[in-house]
Amino acid sequence: MSHELRTPITVIDGFNKLLLSEAPGVLTEEQRHYLEQSRRSCQRLNLFVGNLLEQERQRIGEATPHRAPSCLDTLLDDVAAFLTPLVAESGQVLELTLAPDATRAFFDPSAVEQVLVNLIGNGLKYGPKGGTLRVQCQRLGGEPAMVEISVQDEGPGVPEEERERIFEPYVRRAEHAGSGGLGLGLAICRRIVEAHGGYIGVGEGPDGGCRFAFTLPAEGAES
């Protein structure tokens, strides 16, 4: 099913890239703008398909994370680069901050990448133009040692009574019901994080907005 769903998107995006290269001919600014919008739509559709496929893999028990000591700083840089078009479109600033002792953890990079793309993507979706989306990594005390990754936006926030329920499959907040999506992203995030032995939750940031945070075993603390 993955091939059947992804191949048409890949073909469309391939034509977008070909046209943007101007190999077939020089583009006007308006044409370039429309093609760039088409590329962003392909990226979003790829994320949507990825969510559906991950949900199905989780349902039938195939999604076992391949955990190993890995670099969080490299992963965050890769995710930021991947989301560059969406950051630009949102009109926000993406700010990454990693504590020196929180650059490595014990995790599956491809699985945690999906968590970060979902959480940062939500922040870009609901945060205001001109705002700052802050991604921070810090090492937590206690045993076993954990690394916490948080994503804080400046949007409207999540009412306290909805903060647990939004991690259930197919649940969407009423005011966002018309904004697209099936409400799978956060459910998948929770399953991935829990499969790593971590925890994910949402609260209010110091200055309002949403603060999503999840934990991963620190390097050397894995069981």
DSSP per position, 107-162: E-HHHHHHHHHHHHHHHHHHSPTT-EEEEEEEEE-SSS-EEEEEEE--S----GGG
Clarify whether residues 35 and 93 are in a common domain: no
Clarify whether residues 105 and 185 are in a common domain: yes
Clarify whether residues 47 and 83 are in a common domain: no
Q: How far apart are CA 91 and CA 129, in angstroms?
A: 5
Q: Which domain holds residue 115?
A: 68-217
Q: Is residue 210 assigned to a domain?
A: yes
Q: Is residue 171 assigned to a domain?
A: yes
Give the pLDDT score at 72: 95
Clarify whether residues 149 and 192 are in a common domain: yes
Clarify whether residues 173 and 196 are in a common domain: yes
- The C-alpha angle with vertex 56 and arms to 50 and 59, in degrees rounded to 5, equals 140
AA identity, residue 170: Y
More confident residue, 82 or 175: 82
Q: Is residue 135 assigned to a domain?
A: yes
Q: Whose CA is closest to 39, among 103, 88, 109, 4? A: 88
Give the pLDDT score at 148: 97
Clarify whether residues 113 and 10 are in a common domain: no
Clarify whether residues 128 and 105 are in a common domain: yes
Clarify whether residues 6 and 97 are in a common domain: no
Q: Is residue 190 assigned to a domain?
A: yes
Q: Whose CA is closest to 222, among 189, 197, 200, 202? A: 197
Q: Is residue 223 assigned to a domain?
A: no
Report pTM. Answer: 0.73
Q: Is residue 34 assigned to a domain?
A: yes
Average pLDDT rounded to a whole number, residues 81-86: 83
Burial (CB count within 10 angstroms: exposed 0-12, middle 13-18, buried 19+), residue 179: exposed
Q: How far apart are CA 223 and CA 220, in angstroms?
A: 9
Q: Is residue 222 assigned to a domain?
A: no
Q: How many domains does the chain have?
A: 2
Q: How confident is the model at residue 60 (pLDDT cuts 50, 70, 90)?
A: very low
Most confident of 49-63, 164-178, 180-194, 207-221: 207-221
Report the CATH number that the domain containing residue 87 is assigned in CATH. 3.30.565.10
Most confident of 3-17, 46-60, 105-119, 168-182: 105-119
Q: How far apart are CA 184 and CA 147, in angstroms?
A: 25
Clarify whether residues 111 and 190 are in a common domain: yes
Clarify whether residues 17 and 72 are in a common domain: no
Backbone angles phi, psi at 69, to 5 degrees: -60, 125
Which residues neighbour 55 within 8 Å (Cβ) at sequence distance 6 or greater? 169, 184, 187, 188
